[in-house]
Amino acid sequence: MKKGWLYVIAVLVVIIGAIGMYNLKMYTIERAVLNHLITEENIPEDRIIMTEGFIANLPGERNWMVVVKLKEEEKTYYFYKDKNDQVILESYVLYGYESVYPDGM
């Protein structure tokens, strides 16, 4: 009986840990992109409508992407953070057409 409970507790710890690591990774990438837009691209914070992290199903660091929507712009931007912690514009979508930057901008 005790082994069964220990097994259940161990599985719960692993699941909670995985969810926590996922949330931490998304939070840090979203904050890095937001910080990049405000400090390096000089975009006022009130122009940023939305930043949302998601898994893109792409290889390497491009798997962890952040979508950004700005006020008064039709484009939707997609950023990721490379292994050197640089925020890179991967692509943007305008009127349903995607433009991809092969090596970032």
**What are the average pLDDT values for consecutive 10-residue runs of the chain, which has 105 residues?**
86 95 94 94 92 89 92 92 90 87 61
> What is the structure's pLDDT at 105?
47
* DSSP codes of every residue in 23-48: HHHHHHHHHHHHHHHHHTS---GGGE
pTM: 0.82
> What is the structure's pLDDT at 38?
93
Can you name the residues that pair with 50 across neighbouring β-strands? 69
> What is the structure's pLDDT at 18?
95
